[in-house]
Structure 1
Amino acid sequence: MTAVCVTRALSLDPHYSSRWSPQDSSDSCGEEEEAPPTPQRLTPLEQLHLDMRQDEKTVRELTVGRRVGFYKVRGEIGCGNFSRVKLGIHVLTKDKVAIKILDKTRLEPKTQRFLSREISSMERLHHPNIIQLYEVVETLSRLYLVMEYAAGGELHTRISTEGRLSDTDSKIVFSQILAAVKHMHENGVVHRDLKAENVFCCHGGLVKVGDFGFSTFSRRDEMLDTFCGSPPYAAPELFRDERYVGIYVDVWALGVILFFMVTGTMPFRAETVPKLRRLILEGAYAMPPWVPRACRRLIQGLLHPQPSERWALDQSMGCEWLLPVEMPRPPAPLRLDPQHLASARPDELDDEEAEVREALEALGVTAEHIRNNQGHSSRSAITGLYRILLHGAHRRRIAELPPAIMQLTSDPRMERLRAYRHTSKLCTVS
């Protein structure tokens, strides 16, 4: 086959869209009197597809798992009961991602249901303090969840190695966790595995809640019966083998996280699960004297033994201890499917979307690519690329920052605090 025929054969591949010069009008592969057409330079996307089929190094990396889809896979950064988490790098954008890897051959039906809920939960949530899902890649034996990467590691590791947080840092971190959980509950998602190991640190004090492996959709008053999570963070009703309301279980776990943040230790500690169970059912924990009184009230409100008597999230966000903190607010929802970019006029796109469409075009993603992507949701390399670019553009524009501590003079939020104090049953602090 002549060189021209090889080039033509590649052009028939659906992933190869090399554009021809205007002089190319022949259908013949063998007529020597015609000059061979000159293809334009390959776009980054075309070159990547070509490498994934023909480049020896790339094919070998794909075969041994050093590459998954459009991602290079690097070292392990975490592990769970059913998964490992590795660092990934998107080949086109160079963005770092976290890749959760699950072995499908070892997943029982119950675990598969949890996995399906995890994906659905993350698709539903969009908040600056929640880890974002970019893409789901599936092979014959493995499933890969490509997610936002938090470079600072787990909050649990930070406290375990550096000690308890200062009062100011505790307020800044906990307000973000509260805002994230409030966003979950408002969207019908209960986490059921809130713990310091599932809070991830980013730059400058920003934190994000992740690992939705035990999450589920639930109405605010719906009773659940599946025991989930880590025993040190488990609410008393879970140890009583009762049906439970998911949001109250999350609230209890928030109290344990806050205690751990301000003291550097867990409120309930025991060598065995039966002993831990007894301590939690008795509500037996000791509050160190250095914990501020207002923070003690909040911890006791969250760790109330009666689920319905635990402080609501709005009540916690308006408490005296967090009064000087400006709470994080969720941004306007982003469109996580790129379909609208294929036909939208420039005046129909906001600044982030216009920036993303320009970046996609520079990489070689055409309107035809996007239209052919319809219906794939997160299980698409084009969707993953779009979400990474969109998230990056949005993050740059809103300049993701942790909440700030404000100077209190005459703050109208004091009226809200007084209202909560009037309606709440506050525990006596010794």
Structure 2
Amino acid sequence: MDEPCINESRRSDRALLSLYRLGKTLGFGSFGKVKLAHHVLTGHKVAIKILNRQMLNDSEIERVTREIKILRLFAHPHIIRLYEFIETRSNIYVVTEYINRGELFYYILEKGKVLEDEARYFFQQIISGVEFCHLNMVVHRDLKPENLLLDSEHNLKIADFGLSNVMRDGHFLKTSCGSPNYAAPEVLSGELYAGPEVDVWSCGVILYALLCGRLPFDVDNLPNLFKLIRSGIYTLPSHLSPGARDLIHRMLVVDPMKRIKIHEIRRHPWFIDHLPRYLALPAMQIAKQPIDILAILKQIDEEILQHVIEIGFDRNKVIESLQNRIQNEATVTYYLLWDNQFRISSSYLRAEFQEASDTYSSTSSITNHTLQQQGFTAGRKWLLGLQSQAPPIEIMTEVLRALQTLNVFWKKIGHYTMKCRWLPSFHSHSGTALSIPLHTNHTSVDDRAIVGDGGTGVLSHNAVKFEMQLYKAKGERYLLDLQMVHGSPLHFLEICAAFLTKLQVI
């Protein structure tokens, strides 16, 4: 694993100011402050944590280093994004994405308590981010509303990984850390723990705080607080639904061996109610192998790359830096552009999941479809949905084969998510698709290379761009969702009709 050291990027404070325009102070800490800033080359907002080196001891330096190492490898919609860190003689600057609504803690204080549907929406995002950490062998160990940041679209970001640690098979952790009110009984007792179970307990306390506007264990005297937590005695208000009560009871179990697991939370009826489509996908990705974060981060978006080149960076050097995970001005510019475009282009995934699957009949192949018009005006989209009971690997093999014959260029951005581009009336000189041949071995679909524009560099104003995602519905049914991102709605309908024909749906 290519891990950074704290002095990987040394620059002067003056050089920093040439890259970012510092704005207002967002907050203060024991060792420095957090300021709003604008990235000069892209104009996008970032948050910069400024730490005074002279006020940091060795353990605090270690904490900062640990957070940098972990965040540098993470790319998830509900985990704070690290863009770069800069070390000067006097300060350490940690540059992350800017989350404009602040801590969930203050949101709960303002609301008193959060309505159940809204609390569930937040909780689903938290569990998605925590699950992602655990799948990549990281335990947070300090989950609390103060470390959950909220943006203007009600999206949460898990932050502050300073107390997190890497889990290793067969090894247990013992460090007693985190905030006492959110710490699991085994942590307070100094017992050995594997890791995920302590995050589950903290998530249970957070869910309680969201729904009740107070903490389940909250007394001023620390010995009494520890005794209360170890006993697992708390009360639930009568206004909570049976589902919420059951889930909290199963999370706040003193015995870690009997405590509910993340994958069980994901299947809990209260959790899956109104589960957003983009959060339903990871449940299938647990398929017995960890997510290769480095491989995902090394994927290069040709359009974003072109923007970076237009700003003035050398194409070959940018590609080399991205592939080798080198932090420099070019890669920071690339990721800022990528993140902001991704938030816009995939915002439809954040819409609540509509139980459209109830309108479909059960089939053993892709035989049913719906086409829903949402308007021609800017910001509106066209949706196409397909349903199947076939195994996901077979569905994707058939889908990719159809896309290939239609000269659709695609790029895999997740195990079951792709960006696609189609040029109307475009054919290669040979009359065949400009993509690599598909293998017939079904087990190789997830390992297949990312397909971009076939190296042709062909771009067109008439191009139709759309995203495709396979996610699980009720039972053993899977839904394939196509979403237009850019282009003519009529051309999108044209490629949809051709796609359905290739799949023998119509």
Structure 1 length-normalised TM = 0.72
- Give 1:398's aligned residue: 346
1:338-380 deviation digits (Å, cap 9, x = unpaired): 7x8xxxxxxxx6xxx1221221122111236537858984642
Question: Cα distance, 1:163 vs. partner?
Answer: 2.1
Contact 1:154 1:196 in 2 (8 A): yes
**CA 1:334–1:150 in 2, change beyond 3 Å: closer, same or farther?**
farther
User: In structure 2, how many angstroms separate the alpha carbons of the residues matched to 1:374 and 1:334?
Assistant: 11
Equivalent runs, 1:264-283 vs 2, <5 Å: 264-283=213-232
Match of 1:74 in 2: 23
Alignment-mate amino acid for residue 207 of structure 1: L
Using the alignment, how far apart are the partners of 2:230 and 2:296 within structure 1?
A: 43
| Larger radius of gyration between Structure 1 and Structure 2 | 1
Task: Say if 2:104 is the partner of 1:155.
Answer: yes
Aligned length: 343
Shift in alpha-carbon separation, 1:191–1:83, aligned structure 2, 3 A: farther
The correspondence of residues 177-256 of structure 1 with structure 2, limited to 5 A, is 177-219=126-168, 222-256=171-205
Q: Distance in 1 between matches of 2:187 and 2:350?
A: 33
1:171 alignment partner, SS class: helix
Q: Is the 8 A contact 1:248 1:310 kept in 2?
A: yes
Equivalent in the alignment of 2:262: 313
Matched, 1:127 2:61: no
> Do the aligned partners of 2:137 and 2:167 also contact (CA within 8 Å) in 1?
yes
CA offsets 1:304-360 (integer angstroms, 9 cap, x no match): 00112111111111112123233514699686877x8xxxxxxxx6xxx12212211
CA contact (8 A) 1:318 1:413 kept: no
Take 1:156 and 1:414, find their aligned partners in 2: how far apart are those partners? Answer: 34
| TM-superposition CA deviations, 1:138-179 (whole Å, max 9, x none) | 111211111111112111111101221111111111001001
Aligned twin of 2:4: none
Q: Give the partner amino acid of 1:396.
A: I
Q: How does 1:53-92 map to 2 (within 5 A)?
A: 62-63=13-14, 68=17, 70-92=19-41
State the partner residue of 2:497: none
Tell me whether 1:288 sits opposite 2:233 in the alignment. no
Amino acid at match of 1:187: N
Question: In the aligned structure 2, how far is the partner of 1:117 from the partner of 1:80?
Answer: 18
> Is structure 2 residue 302 aligned with structure 1 residue 354?
yes
The gaps in structure 1 that reach 5 residues or longer are 1-58, 341-348, 417-430
The root-mean-square deviation of aligned C-alpha atoms, in Å, is 3.0
Q: So what's the TM-score if we normalise by structure 2?
A: 0.62
Check the 8 A contact 1:194/1:254 in 2, yes or no: yes
**AA in 2 matched with 1:391:** D
Judged with a 3 Å threshold, the aligned counterparts in structure 2 of structure 1 residues 175 and 374 are, in CA distance, closer, same or farther, namely closer
Q: Is the 8 A contact 1:194 1:253 kept in 2?
A: yes
Give the Cα separation in 2 of the matches to 1:191 and 1:361: 37
> In structure 1, what is the equivalent of residue 252 of structure 2?
303
From 62, 65, 70, give the equivalent of 1:113.
62
Distance 2:39 2:223 in 1: 46
Q: How much identity, in percent, do the aligned residues show? A: 32
Over 3 Å counting, the alpha-carbon distance change for 1:180 and 1:93 in structure 2 is same
Name the structure, 1 or 2, with higher relative contact order (CA <8 Å, separation 6+): 1
User: For residues 131 and 400 of structure 1, what CA distance do their matches in structure 2 show?
Assistant: 20
Say which SS state the counterpart of residue 74 (structure 1) adopts: strand
